[in-house]
């Protein structure tokens, strides 16, 4: 046998022992489901928190502005894994909730700080004349914000939000710290069972890449639709 044939035989053997034997691929399939569930719920929570904190940071009411600034500084200044463990083992220690929901809340709180800055920057990027035009038409401050400013800001911040969603999906790889069997944890389990690290790590990397690639393509189509009305 040539060197290439030997390498291919070893590769196929590692693939079989890592994913086929004892149906270990099912661990990765279950891990994909956990990752998607945690990410989707965290994205929703992160957007809601981000909107509220952005409004606090833009508020003229000083206590709200101080609260928004403190929240953003603390969340962005501490590691996400520390926040996850604090929320899971301390704050929600006596609360009966599924692990993936608690993890989603932790990631949503973390993402909310970054989303708030994206939204704040997007709102500030809209020309102040748009606000003045809305007020001159008889709209209230809230109506002007909802009907004129925010729709324009959404198109400006959408690429940055997409990037935040992609980062969030990759950050969920640390949920194994609280006992969740996500993609990364499933790969670690297979690695421990086979004592062969290359194939499980390659498999998890490929799965994350495919998930993020599909998300990127989908979000790109949404962005194109948002940009249809733009004059270039």
**pLDDT tens, residue by residue, 31-50:** 999 999 999 999 999 999 99
Looking at the domain 12-226, which fold is it? MetI-like fold (1.10.3720)
Q: Of the candidates 141, 178, 3, which has an alpha carbon nearest to the alpha carbon of residue 61?
A: 141
**pLDDT tens, residue by residue, 175-197:** 988 889 999 999 999 999 888 88
Q: Report the C-alpha gap between 96 and 104 in whole angstroms.
A: 15
Six token digits for residue 68: 């928004």
The band of 3, judged by pLDDT with boundaries at 50, 70 and 90, is confident
pLDDT, position 229: 61
**Is-contact 106 87, C-beta < 8 A?**
yes
Reported pTM: 0.87
Residue 126 phi/psi, 5-degree rounding, is: -75, 130
Q: How far is CA 100 from the centre of its chain?
A: 14
**pLDDT tens, residue by residue, 149-182:** 877 788 888 888 889 899 999 999 999 888 899 9
Three-state secondary structure call for residue 51: helix
**Is-contact 14 196, C-beta < 8 A?**
yes
Alpha-helical (H) ranges within 78-228 are 80-86, 99-125, 128-136, 141-144, 150-171, 183-194, 198-226
């Amino acid at each position: 046998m040539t060197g290439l044939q030997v390498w291919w035989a070893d590769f196929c053997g590692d693939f079989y022992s890592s994913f086929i034997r004892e149906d270990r691929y099912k661990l990765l399939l279950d891990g994909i489901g956990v990752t998607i569930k945690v990410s989707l719920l965290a994205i929703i929570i992160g957007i809601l928190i981000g909107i509220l904190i952005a409004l606090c940071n833009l508020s003229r009411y000083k206590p709200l502005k101080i609260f928004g600034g403190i929240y953003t500084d603390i969340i962005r200044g501490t590691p996400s894994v520390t926040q996850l463990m604090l929320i899971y083992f301390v704050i929600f220690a006596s609360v009966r909730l599924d692990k993936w929901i608690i993890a989603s809340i932790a990631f949503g709180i973390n993402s909310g700080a970054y989303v708030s800055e994206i939204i704040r920057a997007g709102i500030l990027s809209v020309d102040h004349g748009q606000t003045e035009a809305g007020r001159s038409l008889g709209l209230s401050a809230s109506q002007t914000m909802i009907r004129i400013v925010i729709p324009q800001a959404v198109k400006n911040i959408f690429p940055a939000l997409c990037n935040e969603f992609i980062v969030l999906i990759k950050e969920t790889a640390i949920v194994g710290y609280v006992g969740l069997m996500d993609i990364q944890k499933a790969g670690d389990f297979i690695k421990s069972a086979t004592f062969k690290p290359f194939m499980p790590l390659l498999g998890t990397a490929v799965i994350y890449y495919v998930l993020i690639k599909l998300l990127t393509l989908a979000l790109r189509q949404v962005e194109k639709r948002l940009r249809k009305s733009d004059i270039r």
